[in-house]
Amino acid sequence: MQQYTSSSPEATREFACKLASFLIAGDVVLLQGDLGAGKTEFVKGLADGLKVTERVTSPTFTLMNLYQGTMPVYHFDLYRLADSEDLANIGFDEFIGGDGVAVIEWPNLFPTEMPDEYVKVELLPGKNPTERSLQIEIKGNRYARRIEGSDLA
């Protein structure tokens, strides 16, 4: 596990932008953190890194936002889903491992539905209100050579 410290929302976006440079079609990024932890700021940075030009917002009520950049970004928010049947109803599996990057907020609510390989970013409170600790867990060989050991800081 790698750990980084972000001192501000801007620094969180910069970190995510740098991570985006390592991503390829089919990759999955899991975002874990409490409400207000900075998950949407993180997605804004990923989107910047993937050359998305439209405004990035939280898909809390729409469940999934699609953004076009150098490749599609499928931004899921699972917070309001009741069960795995809800995931099936929104076509969740169709977007995982496909032609873009899937970014999934609240993956802990459906752990058995998550792919076997992913990059997980957990955003935890820091020493002050704007600081975040970013804990990065990489699971699977598809990411090993691209991300593990890279200098994302």
99-135 pLDDT, tens digit per residue, is 999 999 999 999 999 999 999 999 998 888 888 999 9
How far, in Å, CA of 104 to CA of 143, rounded? 17
Quick one: which of 74, 120, 64 has its CA closest to 101? 74
Residue 60: what pLDDT? 67
Which numeric CATH code is attached to 2-144?
Answer: 3.40.50.300
Residue 128: what pLDDT? 86
What distances in angstroms separate CA 63 from CA 57, 71, 77, 87, one per listed residue? 11, 20, 5, 9
Apex CA 119: angle with CA 72 and CA 98, to 5°? 35
How far, in Å, CA of 27 to CA of 9, rounded? 24
Tell me the residue length of the chain.
153
- For the chain, the average pLDDT equals 89
How far, in Å, CA of 83 to CA of 8, rounded? 34
Q: 14-51: per-residue pLDDT in tens?
A: 999 999 999 999 999 999 999 888 899 999 999 999 99
Q: Is the pLDDT of residue 150 over 70?
A: no
Reported as a pLDDT band with limits 50, 70 and 90, residue 3 is confident
Provide the phi-psi class of 42: left if phi over 0, else alpha when psi is between -120 and 50, else beta: alpha
Residue ranges per structural domain of the chain: 2-144
Residue pair 117/143 in contact by the 8 Å Cβ criterion: yes
Stretch 75-102: mean pLDDT = 90
Q: Is the pLDDT of residue 9 over 60?
A: yes
